[in-house]
């Protein structure tokens, strides 16, 4: 699998997301098993957030990475309303407890909020210096937000991107490429996989003897900066 450098680490370009995991208790074992299987197959980047299932997704991640933490690059995200100098360390400690780990490889601001970005970044930097996180970044930032952020320590910007949602191609993608800032795409097969039912995707998949998911993922990963 192709890899790239992210926050000083070599990671696979394709990772595992956990949105909606932890919402249904009876699926917990299957979700843990799915993440473990993904790790075995080389999908060692796992993305989660304190928002997902009110922290239950992070608990799923914690159980999946137990005994193999050193193999996995964990990404989690903090709520904007927790992104203050006082709120971020509390939120981070809660995420660490849920995942039963002593560090998060990459910690993101989930979307722009009301706290000054300088305050959020200072809190991120204190966590990094304390060894609680390896690096920090942002999510759902547009070019204007990135210009306001104006910080070279930002490791990535996680954004919506798939064959139907292509807005970042107009400005954010070239802006980020010019600055060698990797983007991390979420929902590459649509939200909850809804894009997999698109007739055009099925037609292309049939033509190439592939699945709709393979086509959609290959389409997203054709970009060097993703």
List pLDDT tens digits, range 179-189. 999 999 999 99
In this prediction, residue 154 carries a pLDDT of 98
Give mean pLDDT, residues 55-73: 99
Say how far apart CA 54 and CA 108 lie, in whole Å: 17
Sign of CA dihedral 217, 185, 55, 51: negative
Say how far apart CA 82 and CA 78 lie, in whole Å: 7
In this prediction, residue 225 carries a pLDDT of 85
In this prediction, residue 193 carries a pLDDT of 83
Q: What is the mean pLDDT of the chain?
A: 97
CATH no. for 3-155: 3.20.20.100
Give mean pLDDT, residues 24-41: 98
In this prediction, residue 82 carries a pLDDT of 99
Query: Six-digit token pair at 211?
Result: 């699945």
For the segment 97-149, what is each residue's pLDDT rounded down to a tens digit? 999 999 999 999 999 999 999 999 999 999 999 999 999 999 999 999 999 99
Cβ neighbours of 167 (radius 10 Å): 12
In this prediction, residue 191 carries a pLDDT of 85
Check if 52 is active-site. yes
In this prediction, residue 1 carries a pLDDT of 85
Confidence of residue 192 (pLDDT cuts 50, 70, 90): confident
In this prediction, residue 46 carries a pLDDT of 99
Task: Return all residues near 194 (Cβ < 8 A) that are at least 6 apart.
Answer: none
- Whether the per-residue pLDDT at 13 is higher than 80: the answer is yes
In this prediction, residue 224 carries a pLDDT of 84
Task: Return all residues near 224 (Cβ < 8 A) that are at least 6 apart.
Answer: 177
The ranges assigned to domains in the chain are: 3-155
Active-site pick, 52, 107, 115, 161: 52
């Amino acid at each position: 699998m192709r890899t790239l450098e992210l926050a000083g680490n070599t990671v696979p370009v394709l990772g595992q997301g956990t949105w909606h995991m932890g919402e249904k208790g009876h699926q917990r074992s299957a979700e843990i098993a799915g993440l473990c299987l993904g790790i075995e197959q080389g999908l060692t980047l796992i993305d989660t957030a304190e928002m997902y299932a009110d922290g239950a997704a992070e608990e799923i991640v914690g159980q999946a990475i137990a005994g193999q933490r050193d193999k996995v690059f964990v990404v989690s995200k903090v709520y904007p309303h927790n992104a203050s100098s006082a709120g971020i360390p509390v939120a981070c400690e809660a995420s660490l407890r849920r995942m039963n780990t002593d560090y998060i490889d990459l910690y993101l601001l989930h979307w722009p909020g009301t706290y000054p970005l300088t305050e959020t970044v200072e809190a991120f930097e204190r966590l990094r210096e304390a060894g609680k996180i390896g690096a920090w970044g942002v999510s759902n930032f547009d070019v204007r937000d990135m210009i306001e952020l104006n910080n070279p320590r930002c490791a990535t910007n996680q954004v919506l991107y798939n064959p139907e949602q292509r807005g970042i191609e107009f400005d954010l993608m070239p802006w980020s490429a010019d600055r060698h800032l990797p983007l991390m795409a979420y929902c590459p097969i649509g939200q909850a996989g809804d894009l997999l039912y698109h007739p055009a995707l099925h037609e292309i998949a049939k033509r190439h003897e592939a699945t709709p998911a393979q086509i959609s993922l290959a389409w997203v990963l054709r970009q060097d900066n993703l």
